[in-house]
Protein backbone atom coordinates (compact mmCIF):
# COMPACT_ATOMS: atom_id res chain seq x y z
CA UNK A 1 0.00 0.00 0.00
CA UNK A 2 1.44 3.40 -0.88
CA UNK A 3 2.49 5.77 1.82
CA UNK A 4 1.35 9.32 1.54
CA UNK A 5 4.13 11.89 1.47
CA UNK A 6 3.57 15.51 2.55
CA UNK A 7 2.74 18.07 -0.09
CA UNK A 8 5.50 20.05 -1.65
CA UNK A 9 5.74 23.68 -0.49
CA UNK A 10 3.21 25.63 -2.56
CA UNK A 11 4.77 29.08 -2.53
CA UNK A 12 6.09 29.03 -6.10
CA UNK A 13 4.36 29.11 -9.47
CA UNK A 14 5.90 29.85 -12.84
CA UNK A 15 5.42 29.08 -16.50
CA UNK A 16 7.52 26.27 -17.90
CA UNK A 17 9.41 27.28 -21.03
CA UNK A 18 9.70 24.49 -23.58
CA UNK A 19 11.09 24.34 -27.07
CA UNK A 20 7.84 22.78 -28.29
CA UNK A 21 4.45 24.38 -27.53
CA UNK A 22 3.03 22.92 -24.32
CA UNK A 23 -0.30 22.00 -25.86
CA UNK A 24 1.45 19.98 -28.57
CA UNK A 25 3.60 18.14 -26.02
CA UNK A 26 0.57 17.42 -23.85
CA UNK A 27 -1.31 16.03 -26.83
CA UNK A 28 1.65 13.84 -27.80
CA UNK A 29 1.93 12.58 -24.25
CA UNK A 30 -1.79 11.83 -23.95
CA UNK A 31 -1.84 10.09 -27.32
CA UNK A 32 1.14 7.93 -26.37
CA UNK A 33 -0.55 6.87 -23.15
CA UNK A 34 -3.96 6.33 -24.71
CA UNK A 35 -2.53 4.42 -27.68
CA UNK A 36 -3.09 1.02 -26.16
CA UNK A 37 -4.93 -2.06 -27.37
CA UNK A 38 -6.07 -2.81 -23.83
CA UNK A 39 -7.69 -0.25 -21.54
CA UNK A 40 -8.83 -0.98 -18.00
CA UNK A 41 -11.00 1.79 -16.56
CA UNK A 42 -11.61 2.16 -12.85
CA UNK A 43 -15.28 2.06 -11.86
CA UNK A 44 -16.95 1.76 -8.45
CA UNK A 45 -17.66 -1.85 -7.62
CA UNK A 46 -16.01 -3.21 -10.76
CA UNK A 47 -13.90 -6.34 -10.53
CA UNK A 48 -10.40 -5.51 -9.34
CA UNK A 49 -11.30 -1.88 -8.53
CA UNK A 50 -11.18 -0.44 -5.05
CA UNK A 51 -10.92 2.86 -3.21
CA UNK A 52 -8.87 3.31 -0.05
CA UNK A 53 -7.58 6.11 2.15
CA UNK A 54 -3.97 6.51 3.20
CA UNK A 55 -2.57 9.45 5.11
CA UNK A 56 -5.73 11.45 4.48
CA UNK A 57 -5.62 11.01 0.70
CA UNK A 58 -8.01 8.89 -1.32
CA UNK A 59 -6.38 6.31 -3.57
CA UNK A 60 -8.09 4.47 -6.40
CA UNK A 61 -6.68 1.04 -7.15
CA UNK A 62 -6.84 -1.51 -9.94
CA UNK A 63 -5.67 -5.06 -9.37
CA UNK A 64 -5.07 -7.61 -12.12
CA UNK A 65 -3.21 -10.91 -12.29
CA UNK A 66 -0.01 -9.10 -13.29
CA UNK A 67 -0.09 -5.69 -11.68
CA UNK A 68 -1.41 -3.58 -8.83
CA UNK A 69 -1.82 0.16 -9.59
CA UNK A 70 -2.81 2.76 -7.01
CA UNK A 71 -3.17 6.47 -7.71
CA UNK A 72 -4.32 9.64 -5.99
CA UNK A 73 -4.80 13.15 -7.31
CA UNK A 74 -4.26 16.25 -5.22
CA UNK A 75 -4.40 19.98 -5.82
CA UNK A 76 -1.40 21.41 -3.96
CA UNK A 77 -2.42 24.99 -4.69
CA UNK A 78 0.67 25.16 -6.92
CA UNK A 79 0.40 22.18 -9.25
CA UNK A 80 -1.78 19.11 -9.63
CA UNK A 81 0.05 16.17 -8.13
CA UNK A 82 -0.61 12.56 -9.05
CA UNK A 83 0.85 9.97 -6.67
CA UNK A 84 1.50 6.69 -8.47
CA UNK A 85 2.24 3.33 -6.89
CA UNK A 86 2.85 0.20 -9.01
CA UNK A 87 3.58 -3.34 -7.86
CA UNK A 88 4.61 -5.97 -10.38
CA UNK A 89 2.68 -9.19 -9.71
CA UNK A 90 3.66 -10.86 -12.97
CA UNK A 91 6.59 -12.97 -14.07
CA UNK A 92 8.09 -10.45 -16.48
CA UNK A 93 9.81 -7.19 -15.72
CA UNK A 94 7.77 -4.00 -16.06
CA UNK A 95 8.77 -0.50 -17.14
CA UNK A 96 7.21 2.35 -15.14
CA UNK A 97 7.84 5.64 -16.95
CA UNK A 98 6.68 9.14 -15.97
CA UNK A 99 6.10 9.99 -19.65
CA UNK A 100 3.51 7.21 -19.72
CA UNK A 101 1.35 9.10 -17.23
CA UNK A 102 -1.11 11.71 -18.50
CA UNK A 103 -3.85 13.87 -17.03
CA UNK A 104 -6.77 15.17 -19.08
CA UNK A 105 -9.82 17.31 -18.48
CA UNK A 106 -13.05 15.51 -19.36
CA UNK A 107 -15.48 18.39 -18.91
CA UNK A 108 -16.61 21.05 -19.40
CA UNK A 109 -14.10 21.18 -22.28
CA UNK A 110 -11.75 18.26 -23.00
CA UNK A 111 -8.05 19.10 -22.98
CA UNK A 112 -4.72 17.63 -21.94
CA UNK A 113 -2.88 19.16 -19.00
CA UNK A 114 0.81 19.89 -19.33
CA UNK A 115 3.29 17.66 -17.55
CA UNK A 116 5.65 19.60 -15.27
CA UNK A 117 9.19 18.24 -15.49
CA UNK A 118 10.90 18.07 -12.04
CA UNK A 119 14.07 19.82 -13.23
CA UNK A 120 12.07 22.79 -14.50
CA UNK A 121 10.05 22.91 -11.28
CA UNK A 122 13.28 22.94 -9.27
CA UNK A 123 14.58 25.89 -11.31
CA UNK A 124 11.29 27.69 -10.71
CA UNK A 125 11.61 27.20 -6.95
CA UNK A 126 15.18 28.46 -6.87
CA UNK A 127 14.45 31.43 -9.14
CA UNK A 128 11.51 32.47 -6.97
CA UNK A 129 13.68 32.36 -3.86
CA UNK A 130 16.47 34.37 -5.50
CA UNK A 131 14.08 37.10 -6.58
CA UNK A 132 12.49 37.23 -3.12
CA UNK A 133 15.92 37.61 -1.55
CA UNK A 134 16.98 40.24 -4.09
CA UNK A 135 13.98 42.48 -3.48
CA UNK A 136 14.19 41.96 0.27
CA UNK A 137 17.82 43.04 0.34
CA UNK A 138 17.09 45.94 -2.00
CA UNK A 139 14.31 47.24 0.23
CA UNK A 140 16.48 46.88 3.33
CA UNK A 141 19.30 48.76 1.62
CA UNK A 142 17.00 51.71 1.03
CA UNK A 143 15.92 51.91 4.66
CA UNK A 144 17.57 54.55 6.79
CA UNK A 145 17.37 55.77 10.36
CA UNK A 146 17.81 59.26 11.79
CA UNK A 147 20.29 59.76 14.58
CA UNK A 148 19.92 62.84 16.77
CA UNK A 149 22.93 64.29 18.59
CA UNK A 150 23.16 67.25 20.94
CA UNK A 151 26.30 69.36 21.49
CA UNK A 152 26.52 71.76 24.44
CA UNK A 153 29.15 74.22 25.67
CA UNK A 154 29.83 77.39 27.63
CA UNK A 155 32.19 80.40 27.55
CA UNK A 156 33.27 82.91 30.23
CA UNK A 157 34.70 86.41 29.88
CA UNK A 158 35.11 89.82 31.52
CA UNK A 159 35.48 93.44 30.41
CA UNK A 160 36.78 96.68 32.06
CA UNK A 161 36.72 100.40 31.26
CA UNK A 162 39.22 103.26 31.74
CA UNK A 163 37.83 104.13 35.16
CA UNK A 164 38.59 100.70 36.58
CA UNK A 165 35.13 99.28 36.35
CA UNK A 166 34.83 95.72 35.18
CA UNK A 167 32.26 93.06 34.60
CA UNK A 168 32.25 89.33 33.92
CA UNK A 169 29.80 86.78 32.55
CA UNK A 170 29.29 83.27 31.36
CA UNK A 171 27.37 82.20 28.27
CA UNK A 172 26.18 78.64 27.63
CA UNK A 173 24.13 76.91 24.92
CA UNK A 174 23.48 73.70 23.02
CA UNK A 175 22.95 72.64 19.40
CA UNK A 176 20.91 69.65 18.10
CA UNK A 177 21.73 67.97 14.82
CA UNK A 178 20.08 65.08 12.97
CA UNK A 179 22.01 62.70 10.73
CA UNK A 180 20.59 60.09 8.34
CA UNK A 181 22.48 56.79 8.25
CA UNK A 182 21.76 53.35 6.76
CA UNK A 183 19.53 51.08 8.86
CA UNK A 184 22.08 48.37 9.54
CA UNK A 185 19.65 46.39 11.69
CA UNK A 186 17.19 46.19 8.77
CA UNK A 187 19.98 45.06 6.47
CA UNK A 188 20.96 42.30 8.91
CA UNK A 189 17.33 41.14 9.19
CA UNK A 190 17.07 41.07 5.39
CA UNK A 191 20.25 39.04 5.12
CA UNK A 192 18.93 36.53 7.65
CA UNK A 193 15.58 36.28 5.82
CA UNK A 194 17.41 35.83 2.52
CA UNK A 195 19.35 32.92 3.99
CA UNK A 196 16.11 31.38 5.26
CA UNK A 197 14.49 31.80 1.83
CA UNK A 198 17.35 30.06 0.07
CA UNK A 199 17.40 27.23 2.61
CA UNK A 200 13.64 26.76 2.26
CA UNK A 201 14.02 26.66 -1.51
CA UNK A 202 16.83 24.11 -1.28
CA UNK A 203 14.72 21.96 1.06
CA UNK A 204 11.83 22.16 -1.42
CA UNK A 205 14.06 21.15 -4.33
CA UNK A 206 15.51 18.23 -2.37
CA UNK A 207 12.01 17.12 -1.44
CA UNK A 208 10.80 17.50 -5.02
CA UNK A 209 13.55 15.28 -6.41
CA UNK A 210 12.97 12.77 -3.61
CA UNK A 211 9.28 12.22 -4.42
CA UNK A 212 9.27 12.63 -8.21
CA UNK A 213 8.50 9.49 -10.17
CA UNK A 214 11.57 8.36 -12.10
CA UNK A 215 11.85 5.84 -14.90
CA UNK A 216 12.14 2.42 -13.31
CA UNK A 217 12.19 -1.16 -14.50
CA UNK A 218 10.77 -3.37 -11.76
CA UNK A 219 11.15 -7.11 -11.70
CA UNK A 220 8.62 -9.66 -10.46
CA UNK A 221 7.51 -8.77 -6.94
CA UNK A 222 9.06 -5.28 -7.18
CA UNK A 223 7.28 -1.98 -6.70
CA UNK A 224 7.83 1.72 -7.23
CA UNK A 225 6.26 4.92 -5.93
CA UNK A 226 6.50 8.52 -7.10
CA UNK A 227 4.70 11.77 -7.82
CA UNK A 228 3.99 13.25 -11.24
CA UNK A 229 3.10 16.94 -11.54
CA UNK A 230 0.79 18.67 -14.01
CA UNK A 231 -0.31 22.22 -14.60
CA UNK A 232 -2.95 23.38 -12.14
CA UNK A 233 -6.52 23.30 -13.34
CA UNK A 234 -9.85 23.80 -11.58
CA UNK A 235 -12.14 21.89 -13.95
CA UNK A 236 -14.23 19.34 -12.05
CA UNK A 237 -13.83 16.16 -14.12
CA UNK A 238 -10.39 14.72 -14.86
CA UNK A 239 -9.02 11.36 -15.95
CA UNK A 240 -5.56 10.10 -15.00
CA UNK A 241 -4.02 7.48 -17.28
CA UNK A 242 -1.09 5.21 -16.52
CA UNK A 243 0.29 3.03 -19.32
CA UNK A 244 2.17 -0.09 -18.30
CA UNK A 245 3.40 -2.36 -21.10
CA UNK A 246 0.47 -2.75 -23.51
CA UNK A 247 -2.24 -1.76 -21.05
CA UNK A 248 -3.54 1.67 -20.10
CA UNK A 249 -5.17 2.08 -16.68
CA UNK A 250 -7.71 4.90 -16.45
CA UNK A 251 -8.76 6.57 -13.23
CA UNK A 252 -11.57 9.16 -13.27
CA UNK A 253 -11.62 11.92 -10.66
CA UNK A 254 -14.43 14.34 -9.87
CA UNK A 255 -13.56 17.36 -7.79
CA UNK A 256 -16.27 19.00 -5.78
CA UNK A 257 -16.41 22.75 -5.32
CA UNK A 258 -15.51 23.90 -1.83
Domain coordinates of the chain in residue numbers? 22-125+214-254
Which among 79, 55, 17, 111 is positioned nearest to 212, based on CA atoms? Answer: 79
Q: What is the structure's pLDDT at 258? A: 56
Q: What is the structure's pLDDT at 210? A: 83
Q: What is the mean pLDDT of each run of 10 residues along the chain (258 residues)?
A: 36 31 52 66 96 93 97 92 96 96 92 90 66 53 62 60 61 66 70 71 77 94 95 92 96 82
Q: What is the structure's pLDDT at 230? A: 95
217 in Cβ contact with 95 (< 8 Å): yes
Q: What is the structure's pLDDT at 21? A: 47
185: number of Cβ within 10 Å: 11
Residue positions counted in the chain: 258
Q: What is the structure's pLDDT at 48? A: 97
Q: What is the structure's pLDDT at 139? A: 59
Q: Domain 22-125+214-254: give its CATH architecture.
A: Sandwich (2.60)
Q: What is the structure's pLDDT at 217? A: 97
26 in Cβ contact with 115 (< 8 Å): yes
224 in Cβ contact with 69 (< 8 Å): no
Q: How distant is the alpha carbon of residue 49 from its chain centre? A: 32
Q: What is the structure's pLDDT at 9? A: 33
- The Cα–Cα gap between 42 and 49 comes to 6
The DSSP code for 45 is T
Angle between helices 184-211 and 118-142 (to 10 degrees): 170
Whether the bond between 135 and the residue before it is cis, its omega within 30 degrees of 0, is: no
- The Cα–Cα gap between 241 and 112 comes to 11
Amino acid sequence: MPLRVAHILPFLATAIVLTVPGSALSAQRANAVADSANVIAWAPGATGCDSIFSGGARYKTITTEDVYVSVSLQDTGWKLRADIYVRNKGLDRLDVLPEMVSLSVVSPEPKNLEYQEPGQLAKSVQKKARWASFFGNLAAGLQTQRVTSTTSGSASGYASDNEGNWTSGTASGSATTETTIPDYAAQERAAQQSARNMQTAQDAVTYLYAIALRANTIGPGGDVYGAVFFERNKDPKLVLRVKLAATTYEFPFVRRSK
